[in-house]
Amino acid sequence: MLTNRYVQTYSATLTSEPLEKFVARYEPPFRVEPKYDGERVFCLKSRGELVLANRYKTVYDRGNLPQAFVEALLQAVKARRVLIDGEFVALGGDLYSFLSARRGEEKWKLGLICFDLLEVNGKSTRHLPLSRRRSLLEKVIKPNERVRLCEGKICHTLEEVREAFKEAVEKGFEGVVVKPLNLPYTDKVWCKVKKQQSLDAVIMAAVKTPGWRRGQPYNSFLVGLYDEKGELKPLSKVSSGLGRRIKEIITRLVPLLKTGEDEDYVYVEPRIVVEVAYHSLIKTGLRAPRMLRVRFDKPPSECTLDQLPPQELNT
């Protein structure tokens, strides 16, 4: 049975190390794929059964997915049993469009972008190089309107990777994922490159701002990251980025997750993960931080200090 724990344990996680360092470490060629704005999932199709699970807490089956999507996925898979690593998306939309499509709203079409094959007909493919896994994926997936193969570009030099990144951003993607073609499916061998610096952090507290004291939704939050000992450490206050609707949702969640308060903060359980963009790292935290989105697909335990650049703090 496909579970969230299984996905957490066996999915290849991405590194955010500097691109130059990553490319120098591994032998070319590299496959450079666009970074989609959705929810990463494992998809298990076994005969007529279908299960999708993310890395956190959601498992989907035929009973809680739009019927049109289920039919499209079953038609696309040309093997008795497969396990696919991919991205759940709203075709033509962003993350919030995806959330609407997942609820069955037909304004957006729910889709699956397939980018790796981990098992086919009972045989694991994880030990095979990416080039071979990709070839097998193309044989077992027949793309249709809702199920697609991840596009990509083969690059041999750092300059070619940078050009592929530029092209992806110009098409509207938030960045790329760089993958060595000769390596098996394993951890930390895919490099995430974004058009802006960002990290995933945990909301530790809501700030008691003057606006909040006048009855407005919370609009400032203290976020933190886990250290190597598993302790959550404060990182920075973040006061911009999220739209009013999301702030209102978080404001409603604060009383449910509240663990205490003082004159300045209402402290909450570390349950809400947000992606935070920033200009640079300074001694007091992040310079010009801005919330990009709530990460429904990421467990708080993965919000760690190793996301920060391995360099001295700027002043």
User: For the structural domain made of 14-35+152-195, what CATH number should be given?
Assistant: 3.30.1490.70
pLDDT value at 56 more than 70: yes
279, 265, 248, 264: which is closest to 203 by C-alpha? 265
Gyration radius from the chain CA atoms = 20
Reported as a single tens digit per residue, the pLDDT across 230-286 is 999 999 999 887 788 888 888 899 999 999 999 999 999 999 999 998 877 887 788
Reported as a single tens digit per residue, the pLDDT across 79-119 is 999 999 999 888 766 555 555 556 655 556 889 999 999 99
The pLDDT value recorded for residue 125 is: 96
Looking from the CA of 71 toward its CB, the CA atoms found within 13 Å total 4
Tokens 């690059």 correspond to what residue?
155
CA-CA distance, 112 to 115, in Å (whole number)? 10
What number is the average pLDDT over the span 70-76?
Answer: 94
The pLDDT value recorded for residue 25 is: 93
Q: What angle do CA 130, 133, 139 make, to 5 degrees?
A: 145
CA-CA distance, 214 to 140, in Å (whole number)? 58
Amino acid symbol at 200: D
The pLDDT value recorded for residue 84 is: 95
Reported as a single tens digit per residue, the pLDDT across 175-230 is 999 999 999 999 889 999 888 788 999 999 999 999 889 988 898 999 999 999 99
Greater pLDDT, 34 or 60: 34
CA-CA distance, 203 to 254, in Å (whole number)? 10
Global pTM value: 0.69
55, 58, 87, 61: which is closest to 74 by C-alpha? 61
Q: Which segments of the chain belong to CATH 3.30.1490.70?
A: 14-35+152-195
Q: What's the distance, CA 33 to chain centroid?
A: 14
Architecture of domain 37-149: 2-Layer Sandwich (3.30)
287, 278, 268, 281: which is closest to 218 by C-alpha? 268
CA-CA distance, 33 to 27, in Å (whole number)? 17
DSSP state of 72: H
**Residues sharing a CB contact under 8 Å with residue 35, sequence separation 6 or more, in sequence order:** 168, 173, 174, 175, 176, 177, 192, 193, 194
The pLDDT value recorded for residue 55 is: 78
Range scoring the smallest mean pLDDT among 5-9, 25-29, 158-162, 240-244: 5-9
Q: Which segments of the chain belong to CATH 3.30.470.30?
A: 37-149
**Residues sharing a CB contact under 8 Å with residue 59, sequence separation 6 or more, in sequence order:** 2, 3, 4, 51, 52, 53
Reported as a single tens digit per residue, the pLDDT across 138-187 is 999 999 999 999 999 999 999 999 999 999 989 988 899 999 999 999 98
The pLDDT value recorded for residue 106 is: 57
Amino acid symbol at 287: R
What's the pLDDT band for 7 if we cut at 50, 70, 90? low
Residue 90 pairs with which residues in a beta bridge? 110
Do strands 14-15 and 273-277 pair parallel, antiparallel, or not at all (unpaired)? unpaired
The pLDDT value recorded for residue 208 is: 94
Architecture of domain 198-307: Beta Barrel (2.40)
pLDDT value at 134 more than 80: yes
